[in-house]
Amino acid sequence: MREIVVFGDPILNRVAEKVEVFDEELTRLAAEMHRIMISAPGVGLAAPQVGAAIQMAIVDVSVGEDPDQLHILINPTICETEGSQKGEEGCLSFPDITTVVERPYRVLIQAQDLAGNPFELQAEGFLARAFCHEIDHLKGVLMTDRISRLKRDLIKKKVQKRVKAGTWQP
Ligand code: NI
């Protein structure tokens, strides 16, 4: 059983590898990621967050309630963006920490599904934010890379305190 890795683990800062083989193992990993995401609970999870440095991420803003809202993105790219939005963001690799992050309001994404078939997806608002956050993970970019140094240092201090207390184990 895989577990969520938290900030401090170097896998979160690495560029993930492109998926070339679309096999049963990949499908199993996507299903396991979905289970882990739901039990966390969260609205998205990227493969590097469970120790697999490959370009796959899932987003499900229904947190498992509505199968139509599960999006599995393999080798995704953001092709177009429009507007901007500011909002509170969390990350399963930063338990109990949120921060305000600026993101595009609308995005157009190209990705592949579990069979390797390419597709396009448009999203706006919170869903667009979730896609941007997860696709960032695949590039080794975290929400703390999208905020001011001052805010980033505050979060790092919080984490360091918890590492000392033994409640944060990268
Ligand atoms: Ni995250």
Strands 118-124 and 56-60: unpaired
pLDDT averaged over consecutive 10-residue blocks of the chain (170 residues)?
Answer: 95 98 98 98 98 98 97 98 97 97 98 98 98 98 98 97 95
| Contact (Cβ atoms closer than 8 angstroms) between residue 49 and residue 32 | no
| Contact (Cβ atoms closer than 8 angstroms) between residue 47 and residue 33 | yes
Q: Determine the distance from the C-alpha atom of residue 125 to the mean position of all C-alpha atoms in its chain, rounded to a whole number.
A: 16
pLDDT of residue 75: 98
* 134 CA → ligand 1 middle, Å: 6
Show which residues are catalytic.
Answer: 134
* 23 CA → ligand 1 middle, Å: 25
At the topology level of CATH, where does 10-165 sit? Peptide Deformylase (3.90.45)
pLDDT of residue 1: 83
Nearest to 73 by CA among 9, 5, 143, 132: 132
* 132 CA → ligand 1 middle, Å: 10
| CA gap 95, 99 in Å, rounded | 12
The residues whose Cβ lies within 5 A of ligand 1, an ion, are 91
| CA gap 107, 53 in Å, rounded | 24
Global pTM reads 0.97
* 6 CA → ligand 1 middle, Å: 9
DSSP class per residue in 75-103: EEEEEEEES-EEEEEE-TTSTT-EEEEEE
* 33 CA → ligand 1 middle, Å: 13
